[in-house]
Amino acid sequence: MLILLPILTFVILFLTLLGTQSSRHGVRAVLLQTSAFMGAYVVVISEGLSLFRGLTPLWVSITWLLPLLGLAVFTWKNGYARDGLGALRKKWKRPDTFNLIAGGILSILLILLFMVAFISPTNNSDSLFYHMSRVAHWAQNRSLAHYSTNYVLQLMHQIFSELLILQLRFLWGNDQLANLVQYFSFIGSIMSVTAIASLLGVGNRGQWLAAAFAFSIPSALLEATSTQNDIVAAFWLLALLYFVIYSLKKKLLLIDILCIGVILGLGLLTKATFYFYAILTIGYFCINRLVRSFTLKTVAQLALIGLIAAILNLGFWVRNQITFNSPFGQGAYVTSNISQLSNPGLLITGPIKILSQNFMTPDEEINASLIEWLHSTFTSLDPSMPQFDLEWGWNHEDLAGNPMHVILIFISLILLLILNKRVKERTIWIYLALVMGSIYLISVFTRDDVYGIRYQLPFFFAFGPIFGISVNLINKKTLSAFIIVMLLLSSLPWILFNRIRPLIAMRDSSDPFTIPCLAGCTTGSILNETSSNIIFGSLVEFRESYTAAAEAVSASGCLDVGLLLDSHDPEFLFWWLLDVPESGIRIETGTTIPELQRYVDPNFKPCTILCTICTESTAMPGYLLEGAFGGIFYYTKMDFQPEAGD
């Protein structure tokens, strides 16, 4: 029931904002505002409670209950909820046959995606290494403060998505809702795409085209049921683009300025790639505002936007500064993940690399030929090209390309050039320049990574309105309807056959909801498998050893568990299998880097140690080697005696 607290707060805040702004903003714009202010509140209460080690279910519930009651009273007394409901009724239009059909198809597909997100425990490899591990540490420590860890990215990477997961965990009682952060960001992104298309002067069919393009992005469909953060970053980019384009058409009020600052701050707090995506958009916004009105008021508004964004990121930046002497983490790591400007060849090869990532095939010979051609053709121009590699994985969220959408993008650009005289809204060209410029910066400034195709997701979403506009210029309703339905239906393979979270499995088995390996094998269907099997979907080879080690710890009655892990070990699996911290067990990581030695608790004396970096000859003073489970060595304290009842 506690999960209803933020839901009710969202609804009341939305009705309040809509009731006061229905003459200026539509429903979708107000939903963006509500999402932004709710997100800011999550950051504020998380950082605030963290200062007093108050990140607990009780205090999180209180910090949602009090504003909910206050907002409800305020809204009721001033009639804002009534005005908001009235505005919704006025804006409601009876859907025609096409809208019912397209809306019905989209709803069914979203329900299928929801089933995957809700049923499956998070099993993406990045999630097991750091996304969910950091959430578990925060829940145990009741604080966002840095801690000893073997995988430093748990501390250095941006935290907003995980803050949402942490809040859901406290209010729901476990991690079952963790995947819904990306799922609802996916829905929000599709809504934002249609809102931008509407702002650019496109009607209903054009907005449906934009939505169908955005919904059917393969890598987005796969990520929408995981705890990655690329779709969350995409949502904030789209929200930022919306309000920047809105500012070119209508006067911004203080609430809009505040909203832009919040959106910028939350985007920066979500993912490092957002810095490159946002710089052109926010830069254009600032320059345009100053050129149109170089006044003290304008300067103050821009300063306010920057101040809000900085405040939302302040806690994250300060913790990194204290630990790594940089707000962004280890200097060497940051540098290694940003392309060097000393290599000017990247100005040309960067776009070629990210384009080629979308055209891997199931044929290894064709792939090898493509890679060889890229190396031989561009190495003289770009010395880093020999390190560039590609990997096929059509239904894997870290590898899936979007070839059809790349082709549709090129078709859209050609249509815009041919039919440019039909374009009535000239702001489209500004929007197009911002979107294309952003992906160019990503291609040039981010390091080559076989899994880096995920970084393109915000661009594909942002191109949705352009696709809707360009196809709509043909002015053929039947063609538009056909394209919309086909795009929506084309999403089914990625919804049904996710490699590590399939609704329908592809494998050699007689289990229900299973078919042969027609396009590469998957794990078992989430409709058949137990959660303890599903969570190992991306790391099946760890299942037996991790499960056996966790069972041994549970049987021992030990409540203080030490982990000695390699940085490539999926730490969260131990937290999940041992149900920490809800079970009363405490986990601490003993292996760490020099910068984190200060966070090792000298008073922590584990009664059990699980070690993946040990050998049979590794001796630990005061501990006995009880056994090994695969590569996991299990030690117990010599004088350990379980408490009565354990």
C-alpha span between 185 and 189 (Å, rounded): 6
Q: How high is the pLDDT of residue 431?
A: 97
In this model, does residue 230 exceed pLDDT 50? yes
Whether 610 contacts 560, CB under 8 Å: no
Say if residue 578 is in the same domain as residue 626. yes
Pairing of strands 560-564, 586-589: parallel
217 and 309 housed in the same domain: yes
Q: Is 14 contained in some domain?
A: no
**What phi, psi does 635 have (nearest 5°)?**
-115, 145
How many angstroms separate the CA atoms of 358 and 394, rounded?
10
Per-residue pLDDT band for 340 (boundaries 50, 70, 90) equals low
pLDDT of residue 344: 83
Average pLDDT of 543-572? Answer: 94
pLDDT tens, position by position, 597-626: 999 999 999 999 999 999 988 989 999 999
pLDDT of 336 higher than 80: no
Residue with tokens 């099997």: 533
Angle between helices 27-51 and 180-199 (to 10 degrees): 140
Does residue 45 form part of some domain?
Answer: no
Domain assignment present for 525: yes
Could you tell me if residue 551 is inside a domain?
A: yes
Render pLDDT for 354-376 as a digit per residue (tens, 0 to 9). Answer: 999 999 988 889 999 999 999 99
pLDDT band at 646 (very low <50, low <70, confident <90, very high): very low
Same domain flag for 464 and 558? no
Residue type, 332: A
Confidence of residue 339 (pLDDT cuts 50, 70, 90): low
User: Are 372 and 227 members of one domain?
Assistant: yes
Instruction: List CB contacts of 617: < 8 A, sequence separation 6 or more.
Output: none
CA distance 459 to 436: 8
Q: Are residues 342 and 489 in the same domain?
A: yes
| Domain region containing 521 | 502-538
State the average pLDDT for the chain: 93
Cβ atoms of 514 and 505 closer than 8 Å: yes
Sign of the Cα pseudo-torsion (2, 124, 232, 87, in order): negative
pLDDT digits (tens, 9 = 90+) for 521-555: 999 999 999 999 999 999 999 999 999 999 999 99
pLDDT in tens, 33-60: 999 999 999 999 999 999 999 999 999 9
How many structural domains compose the chain? Answer: 3
Is the pLDDT confidence value at 506 over 50? Answer: yes
Where is the domain boundary, 494, 516, 549? Answer: 494
Of 427, 461, 494, the one marking the end of a domain is: 494
Please give the Cα distance from 353 to 378 (Å, whole number). 10
3-state secondary structure of 562: strand
Instruction: Tell me whether residue 462 is in a domain.
Output: yes
Full-model pTM: 0.96
